[in-house]
Structure 1
Amino acid sequence: MEIFQATMNELEELTVLFDEYRQFYGIESDVSSAKAFLQLRIALKESVIFIAVENGKAIGIAQLYPTFSSIALQRAYILNDIYVTEDARGLGVGRALMEKVFQYCEQQYARYVTLQTATDNVNARKLYEKLEMTQDQYSNYVKYFG
């Protein structure tokens, strides 16, 4: 398996996985909107996307959004999206993507990487804990618009 930072060259493969990821969360398939969204993120350098490929087939993605820690005066990252195709689950792809994310964040001298997951996403939570991620002391509040 190879994991690398995706570019416009991988846009088609990214789009398929990103659309599947959104469907996993109950969103109706919309390939053209998914593609346009990713295309903008890459073009404007608003996210960092890693893609896992095995035997020429894309099997997973992880998308980071940069932010900052005002307290630490350092860059930080939000791991907003991580997805592994159904047929590749349980093979260590998620772990490998997470390790690539951690490596990248360290190389960027980030203070931290954070993520959110559903409380009932038991497999993901186990993985994050195995990778020594911890729950912080903060509660998240959200206000949705539109």
Structure 2
Amino acid sequence: MSLQIRLAQLADLDLLVPLFDGYRQFYRQPSNPALARDFLSERMARHESEILLALDDTGSSLGFTQLYPLFSSARAVRIYLLNDLFVANSARRQGVGQALLIAAADHARHLGAASLSLSTAHDNLPAQALYESLGWKRDTEFREYGLVL
């Protein structure tokens, strides 16, 4: 399979929305393409994220990853949160996720980032194996907490 990964533009929303909606469903959210479109278009219009889109040689969308800019105060550097990574069911186990992760690291380096971070579900073992195969390290120093507002 031929694979192209590029930075997504607003014109790519029709390709991104089904993937983003599928991503949300994977995390037990109800399907809502209109919400997906609004959310993505707002992030892109405000330059609040970087979305990398994987396409096959026919221009069909295979997967995406979304990076959000952050900063580490302690290290005084820019970092990116790899918040979303999703590969269409039809494209799984074909190297798309791996290619997106490599492209995300290259893109973040190009933007001057010192590191990438991500979190995944405890039971998402296939994703964890992929991350670790590419050199990602599980954090053993810090615990992550959240507060629902």
TM over 0.5: yes
Does the 8 Å CA contact 1:72/1:111 hold for their aligned counterparts?
Answer: no
Residue 28 of structure 2 corresponds to 26
Aligned partner of 2:143: which letter? S
Residue 142 of structure 1 corresponds to 146
Equivalent positions of 1:1-146 (< 5 A) are 1-54=3-56, 55-136=58-139, 137-145=141-149
> So what's the TM-score if we normalise by structure 1?
0.97
What's the secondary structure of 2:21's corresponding residue? helix
Structure 2: distance between partners of 1:118 and 1:21: 13
How many residue pairs get matched? 145
What's the secondary structure of 2:108's corresponding residue? helix
Does the 8 Å CA contact 1:102/1:113 hold for their aligned counterparts?
Answer: yes
Identity %: 39
Structure 2: distance between partners of 1:25 and 1:72: 32
Q: Give the 4+ runs in structure 1 shifted more than 2 A.
A: none
Does the 8 Å CA contact 1:69/1:111 hold for their aligned counterparts?
Answer: no
How much has 1:95 moved relative to structure 2? 0.2
How much has 1:135 moved relative to structure 2? 1.2
Structure 1: distance between partners of 2:108 and 2:127: 20
Deviations 1:34-88 (A, max 9, x none): 1000000000000000000002110100000000011221110000000000111
How much has 1:131 moved relative to structure 2? 0.5
Q: Could you list the runs of 5+ residues in structure 2 that have no partner in the other structure? A: none
> So what's the TM-score if we normalise by structure 2?
0.95
How much has 1:26 moved relative to structure 2? 1.1
